[in-house]
Amino acid sequence: MILPAPIDILPHRDPFLFVDEITALEPGVRASGTWTLTGDEAFFGGHFPGRPTLPGVLMCEAIAQMGAIAVLTDERYAGKLPLFGGLDKARFRRQVSPGDTLTLEAEMTRLSARAGKGSGRALHDGEVAVSCELMFVIV
């Protein structure tokens, strides 16, 4: 199976597209991919000067984008837009810096015609950097 490019599925665009590559996909169920931080991202300049650190909330957004890929590749949701409805149990466990590559994983635990839930994590070098549960509405 040839995997699509994230830009062909997600409505996000630079500078807010945080998935570089899809590495595994089961439409409507789960998706995995990567995001490589170049160090040129604008947020590193202010977060934090002298010790650039990827904001945890952006890692949660990257996981949500991975979840959106799982949802939007399910033909029931083609052309729809999943929007963040909530974030629970977020745990930040590891600092991520310029040059690091995150492995992003998202799994849908409930999908209906109008909303859903899922969970995911971002890993660096096999260690969990962040994990969270996601809720979203579909418009």
Choosing from 3, 21, 28, 47, the catalytic residue is 47
Q: Cβ of 124: how many Cβ atoms within 10 Å?
A: 20
Active-site residue flag, 12: no
**Secondary structure (3-state) at 105:** strand
- Are residues 61 and 105 in contact, defined by beta-carbon separation less than 8 angstroms? no
Q: Cβ of 92: how many Cβ atoms within 10 Å?
A: 17
26 contacts: CB under 8 Å, gap ≥ 6: 70
Residue 86 and residue 137: Cα distance in Å, rounded? Answer: 9
- Are residues 63 and 121 in contact, defined by beta-carbon separation less than 8 angstroms? yes
The catalytic residues are 47
